[in-house]
Amino acid sequence: QVQLVESGGGLVQAGGSLRLSCAASGRTFSSDAMGWFRQAPGKEREFVGGISWNGAYTHYADSVKGRFTISRDSAKNTVYLQMNSLKPEDTAVYYCARGRSYGLSRSSDYDSWGQGTQVTVSS
């Protein structure tokens, strides 16, 4: 079982940037696809993006494409979500999770969720 801990959330003005981290422990996750999701108040959890086990491939939701970038450092057992040009509608709790394989975007295809980190974008 892998444990995931997100960090790096906070309050930022529209147009600003944040970098979220997701640190894994308990077992190596170097062979796992990973994903980021977010959930705003009153809304369902939605897929943000995913990365393959070796970091060679990434895919994103249309709403964040061109603004967000996912990367990973297997030596540090950490996955990152760089968020640029943030908008108020990006406000949500952001979660990382382990995917059953790369290229999936449904919550049910991911397990070992972190506790989430709050991102608030002010206008």
In this prediction, residue 72 carries a pLDDT of: 96
Share of the chain above pLDDT 70, in %: 99
pLDDT digits (tens, 9 = 90+) for 65-88: 999 999 999 899 999 999 999 999
Distance CA 30, CA 38 (A): 23
Summarised one tens digit per residue, pLDDT across range 37-57 is 999 999 999 999 999 999 999
What residues form DSSP beta bridges with 60? 49
User: What distances in angstroms separate CA 16 from CA 19, 41, 55, 102, 123, one per listed residue?
Assistant: 11, 21, 25, 29, 11
